[in-house]
Amino acid sequence: MFDFDFNLIWEFQPDLINWTEINPAWGADSYYNNPIDYGWTHLNDVDFLFGSEHNTTYDSLLISINRFDLVLLLNFTAEFNEHLVGDDFGSVENIYWWYGPGEINLQHNPDMLPNGNIIICDSHGGRVIEVNKATKEIVHTISSAGGKSFVIVKDADYNPINDNYLITDSGNNRIVIIDNTGELLWEWKKDLAIPYEADWLENGNILISGATSGVIQEISFLDAKVVLSYFANSGKDFYVITTRTVCIFILIISSLTFTNRLLIILKLRKTEETFSIWQWVRLSLSIILFFAFLFLSIFARRIVYSVTFIVLVTLQRRRGIT
């Protein structure tokens, strides 16, 4: 946390916490107590919860530690006050609730619901769950929409007014709205490549962000049209441009090869010479290459980001953190 002059006044440091005090099963040799690299925790979401809005005398932080498969609640009021008098960051006593290990897998974007329960995107579990805060029991599960199972779901926002859910189904490149029974009410897929989050705006539109693609879109919910589109990740666009350039180059080569083979056929027909099997094969391959790379050039952006996503997930699994 920073003040208005951007001076650091508080921070949460998991590496200073003895996680065995949270759960005795996490011993000194466990993953939790052994920082390995900058991505050891992959802390991917923090929500500030005002005590006045949640019937507590203190403010809290709802924190998602992705690589720990852990969601926790921290008494921020106590933690902040203790830091101001010189205590270390990350007091175990101020973590008053936690959930996750063995139940969820690389989660994203937990939220506290109006009823006090916690909604969590169990990303690699392919589901959205509602956890009873008092009992830690799963009281509601959503794992599909429109007959299609979720793949790496990363965000789920509950709308208590309409009793529906706005869900980011990242692996399926779509944003969906479903009711409490799981019925699909609305779906958006246009120009999405691994979307990360979707939120309702005050004007009724939906704001969508893509972590991998870098594209931010505002979608008119009623008209199902793009109101605003902003590409924020110009660095990754280099790979798309490179991919398209290579595809177009191969398209030109395959077109020239096809034309050359076709002219040879016409010439051989005039001279009544036979066309060898090998020449037919080369002609067929040039046609296949042409259409294959035409497809790749058209869908270059989606393909590049999808491949990037697959590579990242594969690397994570090889590191044993899935």
pLDDT higher than 80, residue 179: yes
Q: Do 65 and 207 fall within a single domain?
A: yes
Q: Do 227 and 240 fall within a single domain?
A: no
pLDDT tens, residue by residue, 61-108: 999 999 999 999 999 998 888 775 545 555 688 899 999 999 999 999
Give the mean model confidence (pLDDT) for residues 133-140. Answer: 96
Q: How far is CA 263 from CA 91, 126, 190, 279, in A?
A: 78, 54, 41, 12
Question: Percentage of the chain surpassing pLDDT 90?
Answer: 43
| Of 160-174, 271-285, 298-312, minimum mean pLDDT range | 298-312
pLDDT higher than 70, residue 151: yes
CB-side neighbour CA atoms (13 Å) of 313: 16
Q: Do 149 and 287 fall within a single domain?
A: no
Q: Is residue 282 part of a domain?
A: yes
Q: Do 143 and 254 fall within a single domain?
A: no
Q: Pick the last residue of a domain from 233, 250, 278.
A: 233
Q: Is residue 240 part of a domain?
A: yes
pLDDT higher than 90, residue 277: no
pLDDT tens, residue by residue, 13-37: 888 888 999 899 999 888 888 887 7
Q: Is residue 4 part of a domain?
A: no
Question: What is residue 305's predicted lDDT score, i.e. its pLDDT?
Answer: 57
* Higher per-residue pLDDT: 208 or 283: 208
pLDDT band for 322, please (50, 70, 90 cuts).
very low
Give the mean model confidence (pLDDT) for residues 140-156. Answer: 94
SS3 11: coil
pLDDT tens, residue by residue, 237-268: 555 556 667 767 777 777 777 777 677 667 66
Q: Do 229 and 243 fall within a single domain?
A: no
How many other β-carbons are positioned within 10 Å of the β-carbon of residue 20?
15
Q: How far is CA 172 from CA 108, 128, 152, in A?
A: 16, 15, 8
Q: Do 88 and 55 fall within a single domain?
A: yes
Cα torsion through 272, 273, 278, 282, rounded to 10:
-50
Measured distance CA(197)–CA(109) in Å, rounded: 9
Q: Do 221 and 303 fall within a single domain?
A: no
- Which helix (DSSP H) or strand (DSSP E) does residue 247 occupy? helix 234-270
Phi, psi (deg, nearest 5) at residue 164: -135, 175
CATH number at residue 208: 2.130.10.10
Q: Is residue 6 part of a domain?
A: no
Q: Pick the last residue of a domain from 174, 203, 233.
A: 233
In sequence order, what are the beta bridge partners of 229?
Answer: 217
If one counts the domains in the chain, the total is 2
Q: Pick the last residue of a domain from 233, 266, 281.
A: 233
In sequence order, what are the beta bridge partners of 145?
Answer: 148
Cα torsion through 142, 143, 145, 150, rounded to 10:
140
Q: Is residue 1 part of a domain?
A: no
Q: Do 217 and 139 fall within a single domain?
A: yes
Provide the domain limits for residue 296.
Answer: 235-318
